[in-house]
């Protein structure tokens, strides 16, 4: 502790203006995330999770407040993002997609080749490197996005419900693949999910958001030993209690937003 956080968000508020209306998407959010930490952001739909991630990705500007991402290596991108869907470029092959960011940075061909095939192997796509996205399943497309994000070697990874559209079996497999790559690379990850199970499995720490305007209302450290899998999460008494606690919080938030 006492070290400089990898991501520091200070008193951030975002207001959207639409014609004569304004929407406060997030309000006075302050978060510090340490280097190598895996943090999940959980909150009801519409509470501003994507907005916060888009701000960190540089796609939106905060109305108030600021953030910093500490840059350890100069020649590396600040952040890579993985979305729920549509993260692959349709006219590039699997390999081309994973190599895309590296090629944009004009890295030497052999470095691109090596790094691309390393991460393709990690997500089990090496035999599919010449396929195009139209020939891939949803799970395979998400694997491509994850391989690309890690291959870019960014300072931090931002993931917005990357597994939300997948079936349960695929989801479990991808969650474990992600954890395996993460444990090797020790990247700082901010991961959005509305699945409490997923947050318990993946996180060092869970941040719970209120309904609109999104604020951080609760923080939970998850100290289940790693490597983890979903069976362990389901079998652990403390995790079961955490599940209920988070569940109740979310219910309250959804309820209060209705009133």
Ligand X SMILES: Nc1ncnc2c1ncn2[C@@H]1O[C@H](COP(=O)(O)OP(=O)(O)O)[C@@H](O)[C@H]1O
**Is residue 50 involved in binding ligand X (CB under 6 A)?**
yes
Closest separation in Å from C-beta 245 to ligand X: 20
Query: Which residue lies nearer to Mg ion by CB, 95 or 253?
Result: 253
Residues in the chain: 259
| Least Cβ distance, residue 85 to ligand X (angstroms) | 14
Q: How far apart are CA 220 and CA 203, in angstroms?
A: 9
Identify which of residues 46 and 77 has a Cβ nearer to ligand X in the complex: 46
Alpha helix ranges (H) inside 62-129: 94-104, 109-122
Structure tokens at 32: 């510090």
Closest-CA residue to 163 (of 138, 134, 188): 138
For ligand X, which residue of 15, 23, 89, 230 counts as binding (CB under 6 A)?
A: 23
> Can you tell me the distance from the alpha carbon of 172 to that of 202, in angstroms, rounded to the nearest whole number?
11
Among 44, 47, 50, 187, binds Mg ion (CB under 5 A): 50
Which residue number, 49 or 143, has a Cβ lying nearer to ligand X?
Answer: 49
Name which position in 7, 9, 25, 39 contacts ligand X (CB under 6 A).
25
CA atoms lying within 13 Å on the CB side of residue 206: 28
Among 12, 31, 40, 47, contact with ligand X (rule: CB under 6 A)? 47
User: Residue-wise over 60-95: b if at least 16 C-beta within 10 A, else e?
Assistant: bebbebebebeeeeeeebebbbbbbeebbeeebbbb
Stretch that binds Mg ion, among 45-53, 66-74, 138-146, 181-189 (CB under 5 A): 45-53
Q: Which of 26, 53, 86 is nearest to 189 (CA)?
A: 53
Residue 45 is a binding residue for ligand X (CB under 6 A): yes
Cα separation, 30 vs 8, in Å, equals 8
Closest by CA position to 198, among listed 176, 218, 221 = 176
By CB under 6 A, how many residues form the interface with ligand X?
13
Kindly indicate which of the ranges 14-22, 48-56, 167-175, 247-255 contains the residues binding Mg ion, using the contact rule CB under 5 A: 48-56
Please report how close the Cβ of residue 51 comes to ligand X at its closest, in angstroms.
3
Q: Considering the complex, state which of residue 192 and residue 201 has its C-beta at the smaller distance from Mg ion.
A: 192
Residues at the contact surface with ligand X, assessed by CB under 6 A: 16, 18, 23, 25, 43, 45-51, 212
Residues at the contact surface with Mg ion, assessed by CB under 5 A: 49-50
């Amino acid at each position: 502790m006492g070290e400089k956080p990898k991501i520091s968000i200070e008193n951030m508020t975002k207001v959207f203006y639409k014609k004569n209306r304004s929407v406060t998407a997030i309000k006075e959010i302050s978060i510090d995330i340490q280097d190598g930490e895996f943090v999940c952001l959980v909150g009801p739909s519409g509470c501003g999770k994507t907005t916060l991630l888009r701000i960190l990705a540089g796609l939106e500007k905060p109305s108030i407040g600021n953030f910093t991402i500490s840059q350890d290596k100069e020649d590396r991108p600040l952040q890579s993002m993985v979305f729920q869907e549509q993260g692959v470029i349709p006219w590039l092959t699997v390999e081309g997609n994973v190599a895309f960011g590296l090629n944009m940075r004009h890295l030497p061909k052999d470095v691109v080749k090596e790094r691309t095939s390393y991460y393709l192997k990690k997500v089990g796509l090496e035999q599919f490197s010449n396929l195009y996205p139209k020939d891939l399943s949803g799970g395979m497309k998400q694997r491509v996005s994850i391989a690309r994000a890690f291959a870019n070697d960014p300072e931090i990874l931002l993931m917005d419900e990357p597994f939300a559209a997948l079936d349960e079996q695929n989801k479990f497999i991808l969650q474990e693949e992600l954890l395996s790559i993460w444990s090797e690379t020790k990247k700082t990850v901010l991961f959005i999910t509305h699945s409490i199970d997923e947050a318990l499995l993946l996180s060092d720490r869970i941040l719970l958001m209120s309904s609109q305007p999104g604020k951080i209302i609760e923080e939970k450290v998850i100290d289940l030993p790693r490597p983890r899998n979903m069976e362990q999460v389901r079998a652990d008494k403390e995790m079961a209690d955490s599940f209920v606690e988070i569940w109740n919080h979310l219910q309250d938030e959804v309820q209060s937003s209705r009133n």
